[in-house]
């Protein structure tokens, strides 16, 4: 079984630019989550998809962040325009419905300069 | 504000010793508890889950849960240098909703030969 795949693994962009992160969950996992870890802080929840629907987006920091999950498969997280405080590691995780343990992707390290 | 507290460490133990990692949580009605291991630059990996009071053993790992005192711990017996990583405690709300855990900041464990 392939794991959760994230792309790119690293991204360095200038303040004001746009970046799109992609996550491919494990096949058959209806639940997809985005998390972010800023240096020295805990992993923070951003949002949760069930299939293509946003179940909970209470963790999204502001309207510069837009997440989509086309057809309930892969998901994208767009940051537009990026700010310095958006730097961090963005993790995606997926799980089957009814299970509480996640499988995390390897993360995208975003650096905004 | 739901909180999960962990001592950031580093916790340094000699090879072969028992490493004890602790976590406290503020939401008294939490139901599910998880320990993730995260190697530097890698994604968190689920290593233990526990749902009821008492001990749960899996190989060299033992998770301990005390809901009355609101703490969960992870013991690693016969610690190995390969156990050196950051250990994240995650706490889930009651069932019936989406499984959105709150993570602690993690405890850095160093096992020295």
* DSSP label at residue A58: T
3-state helix, strand, coil in chain A (%, to 5): 5, 50, 45
> pLDDT tens digits for chain B (113 residues)?
568 999 888 999 999 999 999 999 998 888 889 999 999 888 899 999 999 999 999 999 999 999 999 999 999 999 999 999 999 999 987 655 556 788 999 999 999 99
Q: Which residue of A has its CA nearest to B48?
A: A101
Radius of gyration from C-alpha coordinates of chain A: 13
HEC-encoded secondary structure of chain B? CCCEEECCCCEEEECCCCEEEEEEECCCCCCEEEEEEECCCCCCEEEEEECCCEEEEECCEEEEEECCCCEEEEEECCCCHHHCEEEEEEEECCECECCCCEECCCEEEEEEC
Residues within 8 A of A (CB atoms), B 17-56 only: 32, 34, 36, 42-46, 49
Q: Is B2 on the interface with A (CB under 8 A)?
A: no
Check B105 against A45: CB less than 8 A apart.
no
User: CA-to-CA distance for A88 and A10, rounded, in angstroms?
Assistant: 10
- C-alpha distances in Å from residue B55, one per residue of A34, A54, B52, B82: 31, 36, 8, 24
* CB-CB neighbors (< 8 A) of A5 in chain B: none
Q: Which one of B2, B7, B33, B44 would you mutate to disrupt binding with A, by most A Cβ within 10 Å of its Cβ?
A: B44
Check A43 against B88: CB less than 8 A apart.
yes
In angstroms, the separation between the Cα of residue B73 and the nearest Cα of chain A is: 17
**β-strands A19-24, A5-7 pairing:** antiparallel
Digit-coded pLDDT (tens) for A53-105: 999 898 999 999 999 998 889 999 999 999 999 999 999 999 888 776 789 99
**Contact by Cβ (8 Å): A78, A10:** no
Q: Which residue of A has its CA nearest to B106?
A: A42
Nearest by CB: A102 against B4, B46, B106: B46
């Amino acid at each position: 079984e392939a794991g959760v795949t994230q792309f790119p693994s690293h991204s360095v962009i200038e303040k004001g630019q746009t970046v799109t992160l992609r996550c491919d969950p494990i096949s058959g996992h209806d639940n997809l989550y985005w998390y972010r870890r800023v240096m020295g802080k805990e992993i923070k929840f951003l949002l949760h998809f069930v299939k293509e629907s946003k179940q909970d987006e209470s963790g999204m920091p502001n309207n510069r962040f837009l997440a989509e999950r086309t057809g309930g498969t892969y998901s994208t997280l767009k940051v537009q325009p990026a700010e310095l405080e958006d730097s961090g590691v963005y993790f995606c995780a997926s799980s089957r419905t009814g299970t509480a343990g996640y499988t995390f992707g390897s993360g995208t390290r975003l650096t905004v300069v | 504000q739901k909180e999960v507290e962990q001592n950031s460490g580093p916790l340094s133990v000699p090879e072969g010793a028992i490493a004890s990692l602790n976590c406290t949580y503020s939401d008294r009605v939490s139901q599910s508890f998880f320990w993730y291991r995260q190697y530097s630059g890698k994604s968190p990996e689920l290593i233990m889950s526990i749902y009821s009071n008492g001990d749960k053993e899996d190989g060299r790992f033992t998770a301990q849960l005390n809901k009355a005192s609101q703490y969960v711990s992870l013991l690693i017996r016969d610690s190995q240098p390969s156990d050196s990583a950051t250990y994240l405690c995650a706490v889930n709300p009651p069932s019936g909703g989406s499984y959105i855990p709150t993570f602690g900041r993690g405890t850095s464990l160093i096992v020295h030969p």
